[in-house]
Structure 1
Amino acid sequence: MGRAKKIFTNGRVILMLIFIALALLAISPTIKTEGVAITFVEKGSAADIAGIQKPPGGANPRSLEVIKRIDNYFIADEADYFAAIKAINKSVVENQLSEKVVVITTNKKLYTVLLESVVDEKRTGEYVIKNITTEKNVTQIINGSKVVALENITEEVREAETIKTVLGIQNLGIRVVKAPGSNLRKGIDLAGGVRVLLQPEVELDDKNMSLIIKIMENRLNHLGLANINIRKVTNIKGDQFISVEVTGFNEKQVVNLLSQQGKFEAKIANQTVFVGGKDIKNVCTSSQCSRIESCSRSGNQIFCNYFFQVTISPESAQRFAEITEKLEVIPSEDPTNPVLSEKIDFFLDDQYEQSLSISADLKGKPETTVRITGSAIGKDEDEARINSRDEIQNLQAILLTGSIPVKMNIVQSDAFSPILGKEALNNTILVGLLSILGVAAIIFIRFRKLAISIPVMITMLIEVFLILGFAAFFGWELDLVALAGIIIATGTGVDDQIVIADEVLTGKKRFESWKTRIKKAFFIIIGAYLTTIAGIFPLFWAGAGLLKGFAFTTIVGVSFGVLITRPAFARIVKVLLKE
């Protein structure tokens, strides 16, 4: 009891305990988690309208809003979430409902969300006559004076007969992940995702580099991605790069979206009507004006046709009116719908993409709503629909964000599997624990004293915990190179603790005072610390910043060791050896 009191009342040990408590608060671990955390809410979606908020950038994982229940479906993980959405969608299709109200219960609030149905409307080839009654201003002569009055006028209108079929409910508009059990953030090589390294064709100043990063962030945000890390990096030579890390998304779509300059133009008779970015006021993402219309087979492939609507600026609409005013009206394949003599052509990065006919009704009108159509192919319908959704998202993102001012070249692109990342993390933890036990055993064999080997093992674990707490507090992502840095830091810590133990025991034989022995030990430790820092520091820029995690955890680890854990270890050993 006397030894324990001496240990835990010592200032160095108390300081270490304070840092352990702070690390515990930063990590905020929990044993069991249930539910799915909301990582993204699409603007204008059903969830957004219901009041569900997108988490702020850099939010701690444990602070995310967690969905616990959807209607009567209990949500424990992602599988439960998607099963609940699938069951609700099935019910809407079976009952051909025009809308569905669902109640979402989170750890913070209860939300009532109105989900509209996605309807497929097909023409039967027949026409029906409908009586349409509208109010119109009619001029009458009453007592010799002209009087304008409102009258109900009924007119016969010939319309194409259609059949409507409910295909399902609209997208809820959120992205979710399994509710996190701590504030530790995994890097893409552990959580799964894509890392892309891009280099501009010409050297850029800080203003243009920041503009490009902002455009890339907006493009990826449109895809509904939550964990996005885009930063400017340089190598030792000073070459400029942009590093993009995206957790949990497919490599092909991210690379295509980032590598495209994204110069979108709409032309009529070779005259520009509008361009992506500055002329686009809104891009519809709801199921009512953005969806896959139909899929059909052609040979061995499936084609899926899609469309979405965009709203252009009044200035662009006026250019549309001025250009179309000069065009002639010609018949089309549908005799009831004549068209103009020129089509509207769409170009992406100066490459022709598609053309659309312009209805004769729009001649000379400043139309602000434009319908964009396209198609994608696949080996089966599922693949064709996935490719169609990817194309829709890419085009919408490019239209909203505009073009990147310079061409970006893909230097490196890597995709990481979350399954392999989980296995790598588990193996790293197992190997780390075995290493700590092995080191403790070797130290016991060398010194033959549990009073040294046990504190060494405990100190190693404390150093790892402090590094993790520091990373959680500053929101640093832990990847494989960062874990390697932790191992290096704890390894240097063992070296230092052996130096302390060796000086304590050998100095005792030389009848040196405790203070003299510790001074000698820390002279060696400080020299090794400064050498390590000098050797590791350049890695912040090596490999275009890809080794930054290794440098960060190594420097933090050895600094914690020299400033916090080594002095506490020395005091503990002194007490246990009855100095």
Structure 2
Amino acid sequence: MLEPIKDNWRILLLVVFIVAASVALFLPAFGPETAPGEDPGEARQGISNLQYGLDLAGGTRIRAPLLGYTATSVEFGGESTVQVASDVAAELDGVSTRDVTAERDSEDGGEVEVTDADVTEEQFRAAMDASGYVYGGIRSGVTEQTRNAAEEVIQEKVNEFGLQGGTVRQVQSITGEYFILVEVPGGDRQNVIDLLEERGTVQIDIGYPDEDAEDGLAIEEEALIQEDFTNIGTASRSEEGDGAYVSVSVINEAAEGEQSPAHRFQDAVVDRGVATSTGGATCTYMQEPVGESVDSCLLLVVDDEVVNAFGMRDSLAESMVSGSWANEGIFRLTTTSYSDAQEISINLRAGALPAELDIAGQGTSSTISAAQGENFRIYSMITGVLAVFAVAGMVFLRYREPKVALPMTVTALAEVYILLGFAALIGYPLELAVIAGFIAVVGTGVDDLVIIADEVMSEGDVNSRKVFDSRFRRAFWVIGAAAATTIIAMSPLMVLSLGDLSGFAIFTILGVLVGVLITRPAYGDILRRLLTVR
């Protein structure tokens, strides 16, 4: 029992990998992640768990840099990063400290960046000079920390928006510039652009009557900011009228000696007259003429634009005045439309982009229709089938022995099948470049199998297993050297940010490894059983 297993363990290993690939390809448990309440089968793009990229499924691809400037080699002079950012922001008109950050990369200094899209390089340079901090230079672009944060936020936005299979990653051009690359299979171009162009900042301001203010209305900004919200609900349609709302909780805990956001907000609405002992305010801020209000208002501000203004119900006002509301800190952000509520919910869940994407400037976008993607899938399948038949035909013409040619063809196909299973397992989207990698794997794989067959059959019939093993080892050294050369040649394409070429390189290298470690040895065992004289 053990002897056959010992002699044919390479064939058994190939069978195990084929079975594992089948499980990854077709078992629903290994399929793509589904949204809550979604049928797992709905996320699958066909009968298998394979996921298709833009080329084969259609969709939108957007590539754009993050707007901003970074001062390098800044000498902080012992100041904290918060103080440095505050000092620089104070020298820039109309720029919030939220748009200026300082990162320490050494004991004495680091980098300072500004992400306000309206600030020019000259203005930033002047602000750095005026603030008194010595720096090495100013470069276009943001810091690595900001790029990483933006990548996470955009990925979260894509997921929250329900764009199945969307990917976000950083790429670098040959000139050293960094871009954010967003690919959304099946996504409408304008919807994706609208989602990315929003900075995603959400805050609550308070408008209140003030005779000394312009138009008699003063604004207390950032009564609540994005970081103050927690337990964010999904967008829901209002029971009354055409509006909508998002249920949120405000953080009601704080460090000792500090005031929590919920208590701070509660005090603010009482001080500004939104909540009084006689009830809540009635807001007319959004009524014509815009800007005039007979009472205090809560202003819902998204990306520096007021999207809604509302007063307060008497019951909520009473709890604010009594001081009990802050114990739970729950209320609704109301909007005039469901789409606005959905946008706010997404922004609160995903967070605010640390910098804007320059889609209109240096950005590029492309769209592939679903019909075109389906055509690409069909043509890719036809090309793959033709490649297999061409290889099989040439192999048969070369040897004219089915016992040599048939195992060679089947082994080559098994190699591609295993790679497809791996792609399904990790959820790697198939692109045209990946399909090209599969075809390259078939070609190089059959080349190696031909080397094996030629070597073991070079001196006529194999009269013993010992002779076969000797010839096979010689062939395998040649195959191993060729595999090493391929891996070395493809490695730069795999690690560099060269778009779809990385997918081609990844699966070509994986195909070489699978061939050398699994399929070539298995083919050797099959030939040994078929050709050796017993």
Task: Assess same fold via TM > 0.5.
Answer: yes
Letter in 2 for 1:262: G
Alignment-mate amino acid for residue 395 of structure 2:
I
| Amino acid across the alignment from 2:434 | A
1:548 corresponds in structure 2 to 502
CA distance in 1: counterparts of 2:32 and 2:20, whole angstroms: 25
Q: Distance in 2 between matches of 1:404 and 1:423?
A: 36
1:459 shift after superposition: 1.3
The question of 1:271 aligning with 2:220 is answered: yes
**32, 35, 38: which one pairs with 1:40?**
35
Structure 1 match to 2:180: 242
The residue that corresponds to 1:11 in the other structure is 9
Which has the larger share of helix?
A: 2
In structure 1, what residue type is equivalent to 2:452? I
Q: Deviations over 1:28-82 (max 9, x none)?
A: 359xx9xx999212xxxxxxxxxx5x7xxxxxxxxx656xxxxxxxxxxxxxxxx
CA contact 2:274–2:311 (8 Å) conserved in 1: no
What is the rounded CA distance, in whole Å, between the counterparts of 2:273 and 2:398 in structure 1?
91
The verdict on how the C-alpha distance between 1:574 and 1:325 changes in structure 2, with shifts beyond 3 A counting, is closer
Q: Deviations over 1:299-337 (max 9, x none)?
A: xxxxxxx5435547433343233223699x999799xxx
Q: Relative to structure 1, is the Cα distance of residues 392 and 241 closer, same or farther in structure 2, using a 3 angstrom cutoff?
A: same
Q: Compared with structure 1, are the counterparts of its residues 323 and 217 closer, same or farther at alpha carbon in structure 2 (3 Å cutoff)? A: farther
In the alignment, does 2:26 pair up with 1:25?
no
- The match for 1:403 among 316, 336, 352 is 352
Q: Does the alignment pair 1:197 with 2:192? A: no
Matched, 1:324 2:322: no
Alignment pair present for 1:419 and 2:371: yes
Paired residues of 1:196 and 1:245 also in contact (CA < 8 A): yes
For the Cα contact (< 8 Å) 2:67–2:142, is it kept in 1? Answer: no
Contact 1:280 1:312 in 2 (8 A): yes
1:278 to 1:292, Cα distance in 2 relative to 1, 3 A: farther
Q: Is the 8 A contact 1:339 1:360 kept in 2?
A: no
**1:384-438 deviations in whole A, cap 9, x for unaligned?**
xxxx73x543233224444222223343433343433333223222221222112
Amino acid at match of 1:15: L
Q: Secondary structure at the match of 2:226?
A: coil
Counterpart for residue 185 of structure 1 = 51
> Shift in Å at residue 465 of structure 1?
1.1
Q: In 1, distance between residues paired with 2:313 and 2:518? A: 78
Give the counterpart of 1:565 among 512, 519, 528: 519
1:436 aligns with 2:388: yes
TM alignment of 1:263-412, pairs within 5 A: 263-267=201-205, 268=207, 269-281=218-230, 285=234, 287-289=236-238, 293=242, 306-309=243-246, 311=248, 313=250, 314=262, 315-324=264-273, 340-341=294-295, 347-350=301-304, 352-354=305-307, 356=309, 358=311, 369=331, 372-374=334-336, 389=339, 391-410=340-359, 411-412=363-364
TM superposition shift of 1:469: 2.1
Give the Cα–Cα distance (whole angstroms) in 1 for the partners of residues 189 and 240 of structure 2.
23
Match of 1:464 among 404, 413, 416: 416
SS of residue paired to 1:25:
helix
Q: How many Å apart are 1:564 and its aligned residue?
A: 1.4
Letter aligned with residue 524 of structure 2: A
Equivalent position to 1:523, from 459, 477, 480: 477
Q: Distance in 1 between matches of 2:240 and 2:416?
A: 50
Structure-2 separation of matches of 1:558 and 1:550 = 12
**Which protein, 1 or 2, shows the higher relative CO under an 8 Å CA cutoff with sep ≥ 6?**
2
What are structure 1's unaligned runs of at least 5 residues?
A: 42-51, 55-63, 67-175, 294-305, 376-387
What amino acid does structure 2 have at the position aligned with 1:195?
R
**Residue-by-residue CA offset, 1:214-259 (whole Å, 9 max, x unaligned):** 3223323332344343344445666444333334432222222223
Paired position in structure 1 for 2:160: 222
What is the SS of the residue equivalent to 1:563?
helix
Instruction: Count the aligned residue pairs.
Output: 413
Is the contact between residue 194 and residue 414 of structure 1 (CA under 8 Å) also seen in structure 2? yes
- Measure how far apart 1:462 and its partner are: 0.8
Aligned equivalents of 2:45, 2:429: Cα separation in 1: 17
Secondary structure in structure 1 of the residue aligned to 2:457? helix
1:551 is displaced (CA, Å) by 1.8
Structure 2 unpaired stretches of 5+: 69-140, 208-217, 251-261
Deviates more, 1:524-533 or 1:407-416: 407-416
**Contact 2:43–2:164 at 8 Å: present in 1 too?**
no
SS of alignment partner, residue 227 of structure 2:
coil
Higher strand share: 1
RMSD: 4.3
**C-alpha distance in structure 2 between counterparts of 1:510 and 1:236, whole Å:** 54
